[in-house]
Amino acid sequence: MAEQVPGQFTLVLHSHLPWLANHGRWPVGEEWLYQSWANCYQPVFAALRRLADDGFTDVLSLGITPVLAAQLDDPHCGTSMYEWLADWQLRAMEAATDSDPDRRNMGHREFRAAATALADFETQWRHGGSPQIRPLISSGIIELLGGPLAHPFQPLLDRRLRQFSLREGLADAELRWGTRPSGIWAPECAYTPGMETEYAAAGVGHFMVDGPTLHGDTALGRPVGDSGVVAFGRDLTVSYRVWSPKSGYPGHANYRDFHTYDHETGFKPVRVTGKNVPSEAKKPYDPSLVDPVIDKHVDDFIGAVRERLISESERIGRPAHVIAAFDTELYGHWWHEGPIWLERLIRRLPEAGITVGSLETARQSGYVGEPVELSDSSWGSGKDWRVWEGPQVQHLVQLNAEVTETALDSLDKRASHEPARDQVADQILRETLMTVQSDWPFMVSKDTAAGYAEDRAYKHAHATREICAASDAGKDRRADQLAQGWRRADNLFGALDSRRLPSREGNF
């Protein structure tokens, strides 16, 4: 056991995918969900179960967005995921009979992986994600972080819709998992002054921002203004050891290359080999080469955390708090070996004299400094809002503003004469929230399936507008038919209730 170092280390994971069910399959669509489910959520949750069984507690803060939770619980997604896993195994069987020895080895390797995933899915996931998440919460292995319903970029969202989305998102978590999160992962770590008062009103005690939002001083959480709500900042010095485009661990030559596909099977057959090596020259993936590299990267990260805790504690004159935060999908989906690295890291951190705990534990333990005033920020490029409101996505910014105005005007008209539960109003809100998801401008700005993203944004905008048009014209039967039709495709957030939308005066 190494000498104990001062302070606490917190690992934060943010799990999110946009709503993909019934909106295409390949190359972007439901395939994205099933790849992430099989390669990330299954192995990461299995690792957390093993850690809980071995007596570990409070090892990380895990954010799960309501829109991802809806997909993990959705019957269509569950059935399709099971079929996807079976298809994975069939593709592996075909590859295993190939005349090329490298493709045969790939086929055998993928067959074993598919068999493991199938067995895990049949025993753990057949009734959805909630039966997996509840035990992780009750065992104390994680702190659950919540978030707004459909992952909007909150600073650019109409205040009424922003308040509604947050409160409904927290209620959705309580409905699914029997607990209401006290902390949230704000989508894209985006912030604008005043949001902290909305967080306080919704019962949120702490939230995540990126390091530069706190001007790089992330050694303690900081209450925002006089709200009492604590902003915790990601430590970039530590976090970038893992996820840096220039030197992050997943880029090691022996790890499996994410970007190169075998187009006959859809598998990823090669290792990174080298940063400037073209795909056709990359060497076959060899699992026997990765184990010592994973250990090396675990040791390197632990060393970085120890050094940072010691140096930050000395700098501020009291025990410091260090946070490393990542998208959960990094572990397994983007970085094939990531779940193994993650589990080994969690097991070895206490042995290295490092105290590990969640954000909630840090707040309760007093890792909180003086109040601070924050400015507009995010964790995107430039740490500002350019990814979500820059020149390349102005058409989506305008679309979101127009659709939100149309929806709220129509909802206000309906509210004056529909005191009962109103499925038309509910669907208007549902489609509006789907329109303003932060994923669509992100994908356009980063040119990752930009066409799909724009199609989705305009499709949900169209759904919102045509329901509103029928409602505003007094065509109640037509509005009801349209709402039911769109609900068949976008069958999520069943508990969403438009009657809880704040009034124009800001009252719930």
pLDDT tens, 196-244? Answer: 999 999 999 999 999 999 999 999 999 999 999 999 999 999 999 998 7
pLDDT tens-digit map of 333-363:
999 999 999 999 999 999 999 999 999 999 9
pLDDT tens-digit map of 236-285:
999 999 987 678 999 999 999 999 999 889 999 999 999 899 999 999 99
Residue 383: left if φ>0, alpha if ψ -120 to 50, beta else—which one? left
Terminal Cα-to-Cα distance of the chain (whole angstroms) = 54
The encoded tokens of residue 503 equal 């009034």
> How many residues belong to the chain?
508
Could you list the active site residues?
A: 188, 327
Q: Return the beta strands (E) in 206-281 as ranges.
A: 206-209, 222-223, 230-233
pLDDT for 506 equals 57
Cα gap 199→136, rounded to integer Å: 25
pLDDT for 330 equals 95
Q: If you write DSSP's letter for every residue of 11-67 in order, what string do you get? A: EEEEE-----TTS--SSSSHHHHHHHIIIIIHHHHHHHHHHHHTT----EEEEE-HH
Cα gap 18→165, rounded to integer Å: 15
Q: Do you find a cis peptide bond into 278, omega within 30 degrees of 0? A: no
pLDDT for 417 equals 62
Structural element, H or E, at residue 146: strand 142-146
pLDDT for 446 equals 95
pLDDT tens-digit map of 365-394:
999 999 999 999 999 999 999 999 999 999
Handedness of CA 98, 103, 104, 107 (dihedral sign): negative
Cα gap 254→361, rounded to integer Å: 37
pLDDT for 418 equals 59
Cα gap 120→46, rounded to integer Å: 8
Domains in the chain (CATH in brackets) are 8-381 (3.20.110.10), 390-500 (1.20.1430.10)
Q: Extract the residue ranges of the chain whose pLDDT is less than 70.
A: 245, 416-418, 505-508
| Identity of the amino acid at 393 | V
- Decide: pTM greater than 0.85: yes
Please, which residues bridge with residue 209 across strands?
Answer: 233
Crossing angle of helices 450-472/476-489, nearest 10°? 160
* β 8-15/60-64 pair status: parallel
Q: If you write DSSP's letter for every residue of 325-359 in order, what string do you get? A: EEEGGGBTTTBTTHHHHHHHHHHHTGGGT--B--H
